[in-house]
Structure 1
């Protein structure tokens, strides 16, 4: 879940749109026109069906400023509470991205929720235009041109700029997108969440969201403060930063996470890839793609061995050896060559480009801005600086203005925030900034390098027991910690709070 979300955020490729509508910020949106009709989930949701889940569609307004107009469908799933006498209500979740589909997110949460899962109807949903909700697709992408045997950083940058410009064109001109794209925004996803709540007949809604899902949860508390019940947001961003600034800020902490030896090997490898793309497994990898793969692995400290193995594989391939990719490189190549990638890129771009402000927006229009920032970054961030600063999204070429401003978060709604101190995807300072705006929040800090704190064990990573316990206690009893909490590194084997 988190890996796919991180790849979406890291690539920032497909690009589009303006934003959503204008409804009174504290008003609950209109409910669906028909009752929710639960049934079996689609054949593609095998795990949900095996878990006894039900699925349905909720009709919501395409444009919330025209509530009697055109509707779209939001796909939802439900795993019912097993303790009716202790049932609290509904718990929605979002896996991040932006652009992540979430019908099955509840399944990944259940092992960590433990007995708390029995107290809620666990509700997953695919955000508007994604997954099994009313879809939005762009025109067919041209067949990618593989890198040649030689290149230059400028040639690679110009190619990426052309691709971003072409994506903007393909998405704006395709099918019914001109009518749909202006309504892909974080504010409208928050409205859709509240429409789900209303459709299910619930007075209030609890929520867990990670990464972009954390920012979405914060937006919900601002728009619907009286509807927010027990809200948990994990790995959030600075509400004053643009999306491009958030990309830029991720470079320095990612660089700092590298050991000197690995960093030196990476620099040599990337210097080679910027002139001669690396041949491996029947394809050539340019420097930008190599940096992307490194960026995904450096997010979690448990991946350090895999990262070193990937550097070794690529170094030998660059030297002309016939290399059988190790597990980390093979898995990354398989994902990047899968059909799921283009869909996740589209979803990410919709919401990164669609918001009028935080948590997105702010993409420079002039490609030379990215190029100059990229070149300047080489001095102190030679591994990741050129990647995070050159990330030109199709948003730069979108010709529509947002339909409403972004959300300025500033409220006293009770919220439990979680953040890893060494998160190099969304740095810790951003969470502190949001913590100051969410005046009713408590911040749990985990002394680890990770993107995402709660439920790491179910993702195959080392769990942070005190974080899992704190979240579960809040969702179970409704009491925030009396003060901010710091969780020791799991290697200290105490799991204690201090």
Structure 2
């Protein structure tokens, strides 16, 4: 549920419009990328029909094998949505898009968000196509038992027995998802998605495509450029992932990003009279609130039963608001909780109800096949958790990253798409944008990607905060639009100034 809430925050930040620390160390350069894929077999074209939700968009499917090594085996329908170029006479081609996750729906993004997200020139000149990656949304989603997922043990085990329970639970979930979803559970990794994306290109009859990817969608883009660089016309990536990171560096740099966003929020409150915490020691107020939450003395204002809010839930809320960033809303929320009177000693407990049926749960099916992150013992995981907390004492580590890694404990060691040093040859110049104060993806992730592909990429830092980048201001939007439509890149070494934070207070 925590990961589902964070995914909601991510896609919400897309529709709304860390200070770089010590660079995190990648895995050894000797790590080789997967072998380059052969050209895919010919596929039938996509059959388009008006989308039920919005008939101004087209929806379609493409039948593809679940396991590329068994083309005659089980197949699934990859779901797509298209918005045709508004000015067909000036049409450049197709622009495939992915909004991240893993688990966000590219179909929903194309149908609901594209008309307000991209600038008029991009919408005029491209057929913009979103797709649900395999195992996600309408593309044969990975589904699992709701009841089993709801009774998972803590992602913060306190001893070896707790760690063993976590590992056993993850194995039970994996077995359950496999039973309910079939072999796609073990083939939902990003490298398979990359091959699917090229099958889409072939089905559309396009020699080359353009691509826009955000957050986890940048990993799709990076690996497509690696596998199929000569089939790219242009590629713009925002909030980049560094797929060469080892486990400790991944967790610690994520924690540093969250902590940096907290301090950026504090600085805004200290200098902005409209902040609900203006004139107070914001850090002290926040730490005291977390301490009260640890003792069960903070209640959820949205719960009529007065259910306690723990510190984990509070840091999750703050982290989600850093995505926008929605600082005014967060400040008002903290002020309201701080003003709470001491809650009753016996709050009305929530009536336990076991959720029934199944729910889509693709996150770990993707994440745990993209990263060789398998803490082997309680002692190793405890050391990683301590390192997180040292890097982010006010944010209690990095909630999202910790939960992601915890969900891989106990899973099989073999992964389809392990980390490696990115090697891109034959691709056109690629535009990278990244917020200097991204709460989720540390700025050094972008610099590492740029360092690995220096002759192929141009990095444009956005000097502000938040996870979303493209729609922040005229500079970020203009850089992407000019590049996609005219193949005009910003000058190396340039950057975009910060914009005002989103005010949803």
Instruction: Please show how residues 404-483 of structure 1 align to structure 2 within 5 Å.
Output: 405-406=418-419, 408-412=421-425, 413=427, 414-438=429-453, 439-455=455-471, 463-483=472-492
Q: Secondary structure at the match of 1:189?
A: helix
Instruction: Please show how residues 311-350 of structure 1 align to structure 2 within 5 Å.
Output: 311-317=334-340, 319-320=342-343, 343=360, 346-350=361-365
Q: Distance in 1 between matches of 2:246 and 2:396?
A: 17
Scaled by the length of structure 2, what TM-score is found?
A: 0.78
Of 52, 57, 63, 1:59 maps to 63
Unpaired segments of 5 or more residues in structure 2?
12-32, 268-280, 346-354
Instruction: Please show how residues 373-412 of structure 1 align to structure 2 within 5 Å.
Output: 373-375=384-386, 377-379=388-390, 381-388=392-399, 390-391=402-403, 392-399=405-412, 401-403=414-416, 405-406=418-419, 408-412=421-425
Range that drifts further, 282-291 or 56-65 = 282-291
Preserved contact between residue 417 and residue 444 of structure 1 (Cα < 8 Å): yes
Instruction: Please show how residues 20-59 of structure 1 align to structure 2 within 5 Å.
Output: 25-32=36-43, 34-42=44-52, 46=53, 48-49=54-55, 52-59=56-63
Of 124, 127, 133, 1:127 maps to 133
Q: Which residue of structure 1 lines up, in the alignment, with residue 317 of structure 2?
A: 293
C-alpha change, 1:187 and 1:309, in structure 2 (3 Å) is: same
Of 251, 255, 279, 1:251 maps to 255
Instruction: Please show how residues 27-426 of structure 1 align to structure 2 within 5 Å.
Output: 27-32=38-43, 34-42=44-52, 46=53, 48-49=54-55, 52-106=56-110, 107-111=112-116, 112-142=118-148, 144=150, 162=165, 165-174=168-177, 175-177=179-181, 179-242=183-246, 245-256=249-260, 257-258=262-263, 259=266, 261-276=281-296, 278-280=298-300, 281=303, 282=305, 283-301=307-325, 303-317=326-340, 319-320=342-343, 343=360, 346-355=361-370, 360-375=371-386, 377-379=388-390, 381-388=392-399, 390-391=402-403, 392-399=405-412, 401-403=414-416, 405-406=418-419, 408-412=421-425, 413=427, 414-426=429-441
Render the CA deviation track for 1:243-287: whole Å, top value 9, x for unaligned: 664343122233233327222222112222223263321333222
Q: Distance in 2 between matches of 1:8 and 1:235?
A: 11
Preserved contact between residue 28 and residue 195 of structure 1 (Cα < 8 Å): no
Q: Distance in 2 between matches of 1:159 and 1:274?
A: 20
C-alpha change, 1:274 and 1:163, in structure 2 (3 Å) is: farther
Preserved contact between residue 102 and residue 125 of structure 1 (Cα < 8 Å): yes
Aligned-residue CA RMSD (Å): 3.4
Render the CA deviation track for 1:84-115: whole Å, top value 9, x for unaligned: 22111110100111111110323424333212
Q: Which residue of structure 1 lines up, in the alignment, with residue 348 of structure 2?
A: none
Structure 1 position 136, deviation (Å): 1.9
Preserved contact between residue 246 and residue 426 of structure 1 (Cα < 8 Å): no
Structure 1 position 156, deviation (Å): 11
Q: Distance in 2 between matches of 1:219 and 1:182?
A: 19
Preserved contact between residue 247 and residue 373 of structure 2 (Cα < 8 Å): yes
Preserved contact between residue 10 and residue 467 of structure 2 (Cα < 8 Å): no
C-alpha change, 1:244 and 1:126, in structure 2 (3 Å) is: farther
Preserved contact between residue 170 and residue 409 of structure 2 (Cα < 8 Å): no
Q: Which residue of structure 1 lines up, in the alignment, with residue 494 of structure 2?
A: 485
